[in-house]
Amino acid sequence: MKDKLSLSLSITEPFRSNLKYTIDYLDTTFKSHSVSTQYVRSANVSAYWRFGKFNASVKKVRKSSADDKMEGGGNTSNQVR
């Protein structure tokens, strides 16, 4: 069971409940005052369960460079002979 189950816990900003932003604009024609509050305190719990076995092998593919493509290297199925 220990190989199939993963648990995680994360806590963000445990000692601060919110962030407060105050912005003041002052011009000859107008005055603006804005206050924004962002709530940042959070806690998350997650569980991840793996079903069955996963035995996939990854096959490496040869990368072709731009020079190979210009010289006709790589895939030749679309070339006229």
Strands 42-49 and 31-39: unpaired
Assess contact for 25 and 32: CB atoms under 8 A.
Answer: yes
pLDDT at residue 61, rounded to an integer: 73
Query: Domain locations in the chain?
Result: 1-51
pLDDT tens digits, residue range 56-75? 666 777 766 666 566 665 55
Residue 20: name the closest of 47, 5, 39 by CA: 39
| Model pLDDT, residue 72 | 60
DSSP string covering 45-75, please? Answer: EEEEE--S----PPPP-PPPPHHHHHTT-S-
- Report the pLDDT value the prediction gives residue 70, as an integer from 0 to 100: 63
Q: Which residues of the chain have pLDDT under 70?
A: 1-2, 54-58, 63-81
- Per cent of the chain over pLDDT 70 is 67
pLDDT of residue 68: 58
